[in-house]
Amino acid sequence: MKTLFEQSCPGRVGVIPRKPGKRASDMLSASLLRRETPRLPELSELDVVRHFTGLSRLNYSVDGNFYPLGSCTMKYNAKFMEYAAGLSGFTALHPLMAQLRGAGHYTQGALQVIWELEQQLCEITGMKAFTLQPMAGANGEFTGVMLIAAYHRDKGNRKTKIIIPDSAHGTNPASATLAGYDVVNIPSRDGIIDPEELEAVLDDEVAALMMTCPNTLGLFENNLPHIVEKLRRVDALLYYDGANMNAIMGKMRVGDVGFDVVHLNLHKTFGTPHGGGGPGSGPVGVSERLIPFLPVSRVEKQQDGSFVLSYDKPKSIGYIAPFYGNFGVFLKAYAYILRLGGEGLRRASEYAVLNANYLRRKLEHTLNIPHERLCMHEFVASAPEGLRALDIAKAMLDRGVHAPTVYFPLIVPECLMFEPTETENKETLDELVSLLEEIIKTGRENPQALLDAPVHTPVRRLDETAAARRMILTEDMAE
């Protein structure tokens, strides 16, 4: 499709405000003004509507397609949540209104949402307190590791290292580094943490272990109680990456089993839409001993039932968000939790795990599935001998289904990672199974057909090497 800029027609206007009485040059000296107006597109409202409607049709999405993208929890995003976030009593609320009179007098409804959502997340995870400030999962990881660092500093502990299993998301080591730690990687055995490998690297300089549980292979860490005990011995904390929380709601609470920090992804587990890569929200929950270090401000409930913002936390790590976090996303997650209730959340996890296990069993003879045990809400498979994960993924796109996550985790060869989520029905799963059987068969009989896929998508395989070499990142970076 032509870009907006290619369609631009000088002098054409869309939704512009009335003409001002004075222009900038009447009010400010030329030395403060830009030489020419920014070359933004000049289009009619209909031009713009056609353009973006056209672009939208080039996307696969949960609304349009089965999207079994592992580790991303692409569940259905209920439409009524958009209503909740769009209420003018929330959208028109300036964040600084809370700083006038009584630290929150004019924003009681918003503060109540924050406070109640924090309470709900505490009950779901068994943690003692939550901050909603982190603006995405990785931002939550960073916050969590900063809390761990603040705890050790406060205790006078000299800690320099964080242990991360090789199956972890790339954000884990990146977040730990950003928070000032050296990363120690440990290999897994049979898909889970090997207690011996852990023992080998565990010393007094270890600040924490970052764990994803169930891990990115979709497996539950059976050695969890031993791991908790080992870490306690050296005063190292245990971090829970909540990317996979959709597997365990109502089945295990990370606070009960000894985790000190957890980040959740509201845009995964709690059904808020992914938006093509955000905005997300990555609340962080902590055990008792980390509460003093949480970011400010904190919302507190007073005796009379009103809510107030408190900034008086001398040990706080500071501000993670400019204000309270991605509030518009909280509203959606809050609405989702109210709608499902405790029983609904537990059911969501049960059916997420049922769907994953059903799909795993049905695909056993089609793909190579490395771990002969029940999986949680997702599972990994390897492409059958002679076929590549990438080609299978591209063939799926041709058949109207989004691909699973490919080549992650890095430790599984030709990896395809499926996460069907609880919101897909049995027919959809069965169709995926037949479709994959057909793809594998095609791949064996006519390998070229897979290498050529996709052919029915808006574009076919794109040259990524050329993109990196030519580096055309804007309309103005000419070839």
Q: Is 174 in the site for other proteins (CB under 8 A)?
A: yes
Please state, in angstroms and as integers, the Cα–Cα distance from residue 33 to each residue in 24, 28, 29, 271, 358, following that order: 8, 7, 7, 45, 64
Nearest to 211 by CA among 222, 200, 32: 222
Select the residue interacting with other proteins from 128, 226, 250, 291 (CB under 8 A): 250
CB closer to other proteins out of 202 and 309: 309
CB closer to other proteins out of 195 and 328: 328
Q: Is 353 in the site for other proteins (CB under 8 A)?
A: yes
Q: Is 275 in the site for other proteins (CB under 8 A)?
A: yes
| Binding letters toward other proteins, positions 280-319, x by CB under 8 A | x--------------x---------------------xxx
CB closer to other proteins out of 385 and 476: 476
CB closer to other proteins out of 372 and 385: 372
Select the residue interacting with other proteins from 190, 203, 288, 475 (CB under 8 A): 475
Q: How far apart are alpha carbons 46 and 156 in whole angstroms?
A: 63
Select the residue interacting with other proteins from 197, 235, 300, 350 (CB under 8 A): 350
DSSP character at residue 417: E
Q: How many residues bind other proteins (CB under 8 A)?
A: 205
Angle between helices 327-363 and 108-125 (to 10 degrees): 30
Binding residues for other proteins restricted to 391-430, rule: CB under 8 A: 393-394, 397, 402-403, 405, 408, 422-426
Q: How far apart are alpha carbons 5 and 293 in whole angstroms?
A: 48
Q: What pairs with residue 163 in β-bridges?
A: 184, 209
Task: Give me the least distance between CB of 129 and other proteins, in Å please.
Answer: 16
Amino acid at 365: H
Q: How far apart are alpha carbons 315 and 292 in whole angstroms?
A: 6
Please state, in angstroms and as integers, the Cα–Cα distance from residue 419 to each residue in 117, 353, 358, 406, following that order: 26, 9, 11, 12
Binding residues for other proteins restricted to 24-63, rule: CB under 8 A: 24, 27-29, 31-35, 37-43, 45, 48-49, 51-53, 55-63
Q: Is 19 in the site for other proteins (CB under 8 A)?
A: yes
CB closer to other proteins out of 357 and 368: 357
Q: Specify the pairing of strand 415-418 against strand 379-382.
A: antiparallel
Select the residue interacting with other proteins from 128, 157, 178, 384 (CB under 8 A): 178
Burial, 351: exposed, middle or buried (Cβ in 10 Å; 0-12, 13-18, 19+)? Answer: middle
Instruction: Tell me if 8 sits within 8 A of 41, measured CB to CB.
Output: yes
Select the residue interacting with other proteins from 130, 324, 379, 418 (CB under 8 A): 324
Token pair in block for residue 115 = 């406070």
Binding residues for other proteins restricted to 437-456, rule: CB under 8 A: 454
| Binding letters toward other proteins, positions 190-219, x by CB under 8 A | ------------------------------
Q: Which stretch binds other proteins (CB under 8 A): 11-19, 232-240, 285-293, 439-447?
A: 11-19
Instruction: Tell me if 278 sits within 8 A of 300, measured CB to CB.
Output: no
Q: Is 220 in the site for other proteins (CB under 8 A)?
A: yes
Binding residues for other proteins restricted to 76-95, rule: CB under 8 A: 76-78, 80, 82-95
Q: How far apart are alpha carbons 155 and 204 in whole angstroms?
A: 13
Amino acid at 277: G
Q: Is 136 in the site for other proteins (CB under 8 A)?
A: yes
Give the distance between the most distant pair of CA atoms in the chain: 76
Nearest to 283 by CA among 242, 254, 338: 242
Q: Is 273 in the site for other proteins (CB under 8 A)?
A: yes
DSSP character at residue 214: S
Q: Which stretch binds other proteins (CB under 8 A): 229-237, 269-277, 285-293, 380-388?
A: 269-277
